[in-house]
Amino acid sequence: MIKVLLAEDQGMMRGALALLLGLEDDIEIVAQVGDGDEILPRALELRPDIALLDIELPGRSGLDAAADLRARLPECRVLILTTFGRPGYLRRAMEAGACGFLVKDGPVEELAATIRRVLAGERVIDPALAAAALSAGPNPLTQRERDVLAAAVDGATVADIAAKVHLSPATVRNYLSAAIGKTQTRNRMEAVRAARQNGWL
């Protein structure tokens, strides 16, 4: 049996996926979690073959959890299943050690087949998303620019952002200015929106 840990924050979607995958003769859902902080502890406890992770979760994101699993439980293969087919997310998932990346609008048979292929050592990526990621190019933002934009998400002031990321207000302004220039936007909120749409945040 292929042991699968399923991480999805929407209860109905999580239940439906678990039910449908459980109908496969060779797949067993050994854990269902709705919070990113639960992924690593449950994986270390249950030692699944595959971790099927959504990206946007409460607590740690699926991308952060994928990196955690690569470091602490490398034999567990990570398959990202998300609503958001953003090129930047795909690139970040691959960098975090994910072996597969699918969007949620595909048939469940395709998901089951992908689980088997990933377990067999293949890397499986949604073809349309792979093409989009190649044409989009790499993330132009540095880690610090991403940190500052992430702290600006809720419309925080420069002083609030500076306190959150432990930088001076002048340095925060410089990073915001650089991020606005690289995203070719007019202000920090447009820069946040552009970075999110591309999966850079």
12 lies in the same domain as 109: yes
Q: Is 48 left (phi over 0), alpha (psi -120 to 50) or beta?
A: beta
| Residue written as token pair 């915001």 | 176
129 lies in the same domain as 148: no
Rounded to two decimals, what is the model's pTM? 0.71
pLDDT at 85 over 80: no
pLDDT (mean) for 84-110: 85
Secondary structure E strands in 54-160 = 77-82, 100-103, 124-125
Q: Which of 97, 116, 134 is the last residue of a domain?
A: 134
| Residue written as token pair 């459980």 | 22
Which domain range does residue 111 map to?
2-134
**Domain of residue 112, CATH code:** 3.40.50.2300
pLDDT (tens digit, 9 = 90+) per residue, 15-64? Answer: 999 999 999 999 999 999 999 999 999 999 999 999 999 998 999 999 99
| Alpha carbon of residue 162 to chain centroid | 26
pLDDT (mean) for 171-186: 92
**Domain of residue 165, CATH code:** 1.10.10.10
For residue 163, what pLDDT band results from cuts at 50, 70 and 90?
A: very high
Which helix (H) or strand (E) covers residue 28, if one does? strand 27-33
123 lies in the same domain as 71: yes
